[in-house]
A and B are shown apart, each in its own frame.
Chain A
């Protein structure tokens, strides 16, 4: 049985008003347990609207969302339960820190789950350790943390609910290269340790190509592609057409191809490009 499934999911903002916008248009996708999925798309393509359906924050205008085979909008209790099972961390989550201490902020979710004090403590400490927030920081006000620490504390608040699915909307936006790498590594470690399903929303293929297994490409509310990273890269020419960035390495390969060199263009890492170019040089007798 699939973990998450959407069936002809559509969502219309401000329906019936002159500002009516179809944000999601007939999306049918299936996500299996343990998968690592990247969702990419231009601004306004429906990425964030889609993930807000997966944990029941938004209710479809038409179509259905299933979690472990159950319609998540069946009744209020089911919707409420799904909120804890599918943890969603919004864009710029650090703007949503509001408690007096970092500890209380991370504990907000577990408290709402009705756990005992000891359990809450255990969940909070575990989540803090996943994101690399040291114990002494837990007593501080969230506003005393650095930008990167705030971001990680906010993510810990979602992890602390021990969700089966962790969804992160643009988790590295606005961070410096070191901060970006740190979050990427943290997500990979978290996945490995918990074997949970992880979904990352991003603007950029470059950010997610190296890490995720499968990519959902959104375009104007539609699911344009939903396939393995390699398969998506085999249709890489399509990405700029739908307002997405092509990784730098891929752009180089595309440029060489357009200059008449017979190189693969479904390549996105330095390692892959090096191998491909060395092969070409040897084949032509240059090396």
Chain B
């Protein structure tokens, strides 16, 4: 069954063009095949320069593949006539919130997209209010964006995308420039959009503790997909991940260190509560066998 397929990368390669006469750039994305289904929550991991951001830009026709094709909801991103429709279907949120905000009042910024769709006034009002509520920024609708925190600004940028009612949102390192509080706010918002609003989300991150929260993790290296699977499957290749400049969650190192010292504990533990559950169970078993 392919009817729930939302975004499909088919043998996609991409090369940034250079000025004439200069040496050709290497491929930024090399022969990528990736199926994104309706409702999925996907994390893309990869070191700087691995091709992650290019992938995000290819998803809604900001960039067009040099080879291969990207199909969004049965539309080919190379079809210029469809680019409007494609960008309504797949939204992209970038790293730096300051570069994404255009208005001097929060609600005007969120209204920017719907206004350009030529929607009736009441519909715009409704979409702006709904979007701001979805990201928890409704109370700040009349605020000036430059007075907001980084996390709040990023949530306004997300509201601007939601107001277009996309089926899928790509987040390109949405938390990289935020403090721990801002990171939490934005990640919470992303999961809420996925779970409560059924928006397909794909987020690119450098933080392992964010990656383990996705349904599926895609690891990029050297412009291609190195591996993908559930967080458990992907992080079972911990050594390989470290080799390519990534990492595994701290809790995994701890379980491995305990195992090496003779403790009977799983070594594929990714979550802190999972660890404490399994660790405390060691005492429970002891009590039972006593």
Give chain A's interface residues, CB within 8 Å of chain B.
42-44, 92, 146-148, 173-179, 203-204, 243-245, 247-249, 251-252, 255-256, 259, 261, 270-271, 273-274, 277-278, 281, 284-287
B48 x A175 contact (CB < 8 A): yes
B208 x A179 contact (CB < 8 A): no
> Given A146-B48, A148-B48, are A174 and B177 also a contact pair (CB < 8 Å)?
yes
22 contacts between A and B (CB under 8 A): A42-B181, A92-B177, A147-B49, A174-B176, A177-B208, A177-B245, A178-B245, A248-B249, A248-B272, A249-B254, A252-B254, A261-B280, A270-B254, A270-B257, A273-B254, A274-B254, A274-B257, A277-B254, A278-B258, A278-B263, A281-B282, A286-B286
B247 x A177 contact (CB < 8 A): yes
Q: A42-B181, A259-B280, A286-B283 are in contact. List 17 more A-B contacts (CB 8 A).
A: A173-B176, A173-B177, A175-B206, A176-B47, A178-B47, A178-B246, A243-B181, A249-B250, A252-B251, A255-B273, A271-B257, A274-B258, A277-B254, A281-B282, A285-B286, A286-B286, A287-B263
Tell whether B267 is near chain A: CB-to-CB under 8 Å. Answer: no
B206 x A176 contact (CB < 8 A): yes
Instruction: Give the one of B208, B273, B279 with max A CB within 10 A.
Output: B279
B249 x A179 contact (CB < 8 A): no
Which of B176, B181, B280 is within 8 Å of A43, CB to CB?
A: B181
B176 x A177 contact (CB < 8 A): no
User: In the bound complex, what is the Cα–Cα distance between A42 and B247 (angstroms)?
Assistant: 25
* Chain B positions within 8 Å of A176 at CB level: 46-48, 206, 245-246
User: In the bound complex, what is the Cα–Cα distance between A149 and B258 (angstroms)?
Assistant: 37
Please report the number of residue pairs spanning A and B whose Cβ atoms sit closer than 8 angstroms: 101
User: In the bound complex, what is the Cα–Cα distance between A248 and B173 (angstroms)?
Assistant: 21
User: In the bound complex, what is the Cα–Cα distance between A188 and B56 (angstroms)?
Assistant: 36
Which of B49, B206, B280 is within 8 Å of A177, CB to CB?
A: B206
* Chain A positions within 8 Å of B251 at CB level: 248-249, 252
How near does chain A come to B282, taking the closest CB pair, in angstroms?
5
* Chain A positions within 8 Å of B276 at CB level: 252, 255-256, 259
A179 x B48 contact (CB < 8 A): yes
Q: Which 8 A-B pairs have the closest CB atoms?
A: A178-B245, A245-B180, A177-B247, A274-B257, A248-B250, A176-B47, A203-B179, A174-B176
